[in-house]
A and B are shown apart, each in its own frame.
Chain A
């Protein structure tokens, strides 16, 4: 059954007429053309699909689209504002905190949610918050440094 779902997507009011049990990931990627959010496993094990709903990082591959009703959704496409990159994006670029880049959107969104709730996380808080986001290339060291670099400022 299709249902009307209204929410804010990257700051813009958005209305959808979709089956509410579809997963947010696929609605973003197919209906809305926002392909920065990635499919990696479909079972919440890798974090490549992480987006922020309200202030929470969620795994969009297992997040029914009806649960965004009335909420603010931020995806990687909404992390920069008016062409100005978020400090996390700047730091990731500066330190080379990525290789293939496929997990990067999820890493950034997960780190963004962490900093929303805890602007000055300790190293161990960063590691704990990021632990369920997987990176196969092994950019972990630089990702931690990048988040630390932003939280220090």
Chain B
């Protein structure tokens, strides 16, 4: 990702200096070594020692604190990570405190994205907690003069077998200690059978704060003297400011006007006055002629992304073509997509005594700390980023340009400054999911087996396009980097959007699979099962079909059933939907979604289920309505009235199944279930009507057009 360039930090503390800062108690420092790329990103964290990127502390009062650079944006890791630490350590869940996303207190972390917290951070945290328990048992063994095999841990204390009086709490054991362990290798962690806190669904630790309005988000921080800033924005990306006149705004009582280094802003202690003052700023812009718009973008993409990276090569495509009884060639298109979190990008910056403190609603406190430091010319250790609760991220809050603006304005004005994007700014500066095109040429032999798969994805990236069908002659070509990697081509910024690229690839692949099944006159579930021997995929397909009550029929069956499946973040998921379709209006209603997901060991089943439900509900948007309209760098979609998010009245019956597989560790949960929904609904439209739609979203107009043939 683009964040990489910020990861090197020359003046990291030595470990011994860092340890000095920590005070007394027991510390387990650990690094995430299971995933080389993440470990590489974690190294060299700003102002922290280079050999660990999280730690767990048992203080002299027995308090257990987990320090992690990860952040809580609704996905529930504040709770599930605490469960992991508590269970391995042998303390009650309530006695764990999670400190997250604080760059002064938490070691470096590249960011919270990619469904990686439970997958990669969790195992390291569990090892650290198990190591801490081992240290405590060593200490207890010494103090009680009892061999370790006679000791056990329960609820934050070490007990002696057969001696009810002998008992040392973790606080008693940690008192007067200064023990630091760097976790080397992996401590022995619990098996699933030994779980007492993991594998269950305790009430979320953020629940009470969130239902009482006490949960603080970046914009809720109150600092005396704080000014709200409204910033002059161009009418289109790429526009250049010709002239600006701030005189009228500057005359307004209490308004501070800034015009420095391309940053023009009006600030006031009342955000509404700041907005009125900005309205009084007159500006002339030179807007470049648009090179592309939302209608021409797909041809533009094909023209601009011409270099392919090849992977997944198997067999010989010519041979595959010869084997084929039928060949299918189709092109699929998906537009730019907005993240549209309900909390817009928000930050508050305060500069005091040469040190900047910045509260940001962000998925990447550390990369943004670095950007702020560069923007205001501070040494990185003099920038402190805190991450309160984040009001939805979905990949859109990795970048935090508003925090750089807040810090610059705080430096210029000498006052604490809040920058909260308006909803229009949130759309305008969103790092959209890149539009994408997929071209597939595929073939089936006379027995209905897929013999050829020639897959080409342009612009949106290859995630979840790896082949899991048993295809002898196969290739995957990826044109362009996906996410934010091709900024010269896109007319505005693009970035990661929940499972970046995967909904595009799965929409294309699973539509193509259905087209082939229909041609072969084979039931679409059966066609998939006939063509994959991947046992994890078969398990989710079968589980979903059973729950749904799937009855065999070739499509179109007029029932309005659609099926699709995919792999994301190493998790397998299959979805079956039932729709109704009004032919006159073209309106599609998703009535029922059955989703089966296999994600290895499940740390918090309700939490995982909430993520599945969230993925499915959010997924209705990219499937049915969400589309960014634009003309060159001018974003036309700047309001929730024109970018239609899923609402209560769209809500289908959602039934979820977690397919058990305790043989493998936890896999990703935040993104997989959003991946198959578009294809499942497109396939259901075909099943209902015999009409196939090749471009998302599946709007009433497109449905009507497809019905006309």
- B389–A101 touching, CB < 8 Å: yes
Q: Is the CB of B213 within 8 A of A35?
A: yes
> Counting CB contacts under 8 A, is B646 at the interface?
yes
A3 touches B (CB below 8 Å): no
- A127 CB contacts on chain B under 8 angstroms: 648-649, 651
Between B210, B269, B344, the greatest number of chain A beta carbons within 10 A of the residue's beta carbon is seen for: B210
A46-B648 in contact (CB<8A): no
Q: Is B235 an interface residue, CB under 8 A from the partner?
A: no
A4 CB–B CB distance under 8 Å: no
Q: In whole angstroms, what is the CA distance A140 to B391 when docked? A: 16
Q: Are B211 and A26 in contact (CB under 8 A)?
A: no
Q: Indicate which residue in B340, B389, B617 contacts A141 across the interface (CB closer than 8 Å).
A: B617
Q: Which residue of B lies closest to A134 (CB)?
A: B645
User: A6 interface residue, CB < 8 Å from B?
Assistant: no
State which residues 61-114 of A face B: CB under 8 Å: 75-77, 79-80, 85, 89, 92-94, 96, 98-105, 108
Q: How far is the CB of B143 from chain A (nearest CB, A)?
A: 41
A53 vs B585: C-alpha distance when bound (angstroms): 38
- Give the interface segment out of B215-223, B240-248, B520-528: B215-223
Q: Do A42 and B211 touch across chains, with their CB atoms under 8 A apart?
A: no
Say whether A108 contacts B647, CB under 8 Å. no
Chain A, range 26-74, C-beta contacts under 8 Å to B: 26, 30, 33-43, 45-46, 48
Bound CA span A49–B24, Å:
45
Does any Cβ of B come within 8 Å of A17's Cβ? no
Inter-chain contact B272/A100, CB cutoff 8 Å: no
The reply on B107 being an interface residue by CB < 8 A is no
Known: A102-B392, A137-B74. A77 touches B213 (CB 8 A): yes
Our pick among B342, B639, B645 for the contact of A38 (Cβ within 8 Å) is: B342
| Complexed CA–CA distance, A110 and B615 (Å) | 24
Nearest chain B CB to A74 CB, angstrom units: 11
A80 to B213, CA, bound (A): 10
Are A42 and B614 in contact, CB atoms less than 8 angstroms apart?
Answer: no
A45 to B644, CA, bound (A): 10
B341 touches A136 (CB 8 A): yes
B649 partner, pick from A22, A101, A131, beta carbons under 8 A: A131
**B388 to nearest A CB, angstroms?**
11
A35-B220, A41-B640 known; A76-B212 Cβ under 8 A: yes
Q: Are A39 and B649 in contact (CB under 8 A)?
A: no
| Interface membership of B322, Cβ < 8 A | no
Interface hit among B38-46, B122-130, B199-207, B293-301: B199-207
Whether B271 pairs with A30 at a CB distance below 8 angstroms is yes
In the complex, A128 Cα to B651 Cα: how many Å? Answer: 12
- The one of A22, A48, A103, A135 in contact with B270, judged by C-beta atoms closer than 8 angstroms, is A22
Contacts of A89 on B, CB cut-off 8 Å? 211-212
Beta-carbon contact of B76 and A35 below 8 Å: no
A23 within 8 A of B: yes
| B610 smallest CB distance to A (angstroms) | 6
Number of A positions contacting B (CB below 8 A): 56
> Which of A42, A98, A99, A126 is the one whose CB lies under 8 Å from B75?
A99
Neighbour of B391 across the interface among A100, A128, A138, CB < 8 A: A100
Measured between alpha carbons, how far is A80 from B73 in the docked complex, in Å? 25
Contact across chains for B641 and A45 when beta carbons are under 8 A apart: yes
The answer on a CB contact under 8 Å between A130 and B646 is no
Name which residue of chain A comes closest to B618, CB basis.
A138
| Whole-angstrom CA separation of A142 from B613 in the bound complex | 9
Residues of A within 8 A of B74 (CB): 98-101, 137
> If A48-B342, A76-B212 touch, does A42 touch B618 (CB 8 Å cutoff)?
no
Task: Give the CA-CA distance A100 to B618 in the complex, in Å.
Answer: 13
| B426 nearest in chain A by CB position | A41
For B264, the chain A residues whose CB sits under 8 A away are none
Is B214 a contact of A36 with CB atoms below 8 Å? Answer: yes
Does A144 interact with chain B (Cβ within 8 Å)? yes
Interface size on B, residues (CB 8 A): 59
A101/B206 contact (C-beta < 8 A), A30-B269, A136-B618 known: yes
Cβ of B422 under 8 Å from chain A: yes
Chain B residues near A45: list those with CB within 8 A.
Answer: 423, 639-641
A35-B219, A96-B207, A100-B341 given; A75·B648 CB < 8 A: no
In the complex, A43→B638 CA distance in Å?
12
Contacts of B610 in A (CB 8 A): 96, 99, 139, 142
Chain B positions 63 through 96: 1 when the CB is less than 8 Å from some CB of chain A, otherwise 0: 0000000000111100000000000000000000
B216, B389, B392, B648: the one contacting A136 at CB < 8 Å is: B392
Chain A residues whose C-beta falls within 8 Å of the C-beta of B219 in the assembled complex? 35, 38-39
Q: Indicate which residue in A43, A93, A135 contacts B342 across the interface (CB closer than 8 Å).
A: A135
B649 touches A128 (CB 8 A): yes
Q: Tell which of A79, A93, A104, A136 has the most Cβ of chain B within 10 Å.
A: A136
Q: Are B269 and A103 in contact (CB under 8 A)?
A: no
A140 and B393 CA atoms in complex are apart in Å by 18
* Given A22-B272, A41-B639, also A103-B213 (CB < 8 A): no
Given contacts A139-B614, A144-B651, contact A102 B391 (CB under 8 A): yes
Contact A138-B646, Cβ < 8 Å, known A36-B214, A40-B344: yes
Contact of B343 with A by CB under 8 A: yes
Contacts of A92 on B, CB cut-off 8 Å? 207, 211
Cα distance A16–B204 in the bound complex, in angstroms = 38
Interface residue from A48, A93, A99, A132 paired with B211 (Cβ < 8 Å): A93
- Residues of A within 8 Å of B75, CB to CB, are 99
B106 at the interface (CB under 8 A from A): no
Q: Which of A33, A43, A93, A135 is B222 in contact with, Cβ under 8 Å?
A: A33
How close is B489's CB to chain A, nearest CB, in angstroms?
28
Q: Is the CB of A140 within 8 A of B646?
A: yes
Which residues of B (642-659) have their CB < 8 Å from a CB of A? 645-649, 651, 654
Give the distance in Å from the alpha carbon of A127 to the alpha carbon of B207 in the complex.
23
Residues of B within 8 A of A103 (CB): 342
Chain B's nearest CB lies how many Å from the CB of A133?
8
Contact A137 B212 (CB under 8 A): no
Q: Is the CB of A101 within 8 A of B391?
A: yes
A85 to B211, CA, bound (A): 9
Write the nearest CB–CB distance from A47 to chain B, whole angstroms.
Answer: 9
Evaluate contact between B618 and A137: CB separation under 8 angstroms.
Answer: yes
Shortest C-beta distance, A31 to chain B (Å), equals 8
Whether A43 touches B341, Cβ cut-off 8 Å, given contacts A92-B211, A96-B207, is: no
Q: Which residues of A contact B394 (CB under 8 A)?
A: 136
B606 is an interface residue with CB less than 8 A from chain A: yes
Can you name the residue of chain B whose Cβ is closest to the Cβ of A40? B342
Question: Which residues in B have their C-beta under 8 angstroms from that of A130?
Answer: 648
Q: What is the chain B residue whose CB lies nearest that of A37? A: B213
Q: A37-B213, A38-B343, A100-B343 are in contact. Are A137 and B614 (CB under 8 A)?
A: yes
Closest 5 CB pairs of A and B: A36-B213, A138-B617, A100-B74, A102-B391, A99-B74
The residues of A with any CB-CB pair to B shorter than 8 Å are 22-23, 26, 30, 33-43, 45-46, 48, 75-77, 79-80, 85, 89, 92-94, 96, 98-105, 108, 126-128, 130-144
Q: A76-B213, A89-B211, A93-B208 are in contact. List 9 more A-B contacts (CB 8 A).
A: A41-B639, A93-B203, A94-B203, A99-B392, A100-B390, A101-B215, A102-B217, A138-B614, A140-B648
Could you write out 24 A-B pairs with CB less than 8 Å apart? Answer: A26-B271, A36-B213, A38-B391, A39-B344, A41-B423, A45-B639, A45-B640, A46-B423, A48-B342, A77-B212, A96-B606, A99-B392, A99-B610, A100-B390, A101-B206, A101-B389, A102-B341, A104-B211, A136-B645, A138-B617, A138-B646, A139-B614, A140-B651, A141-B613
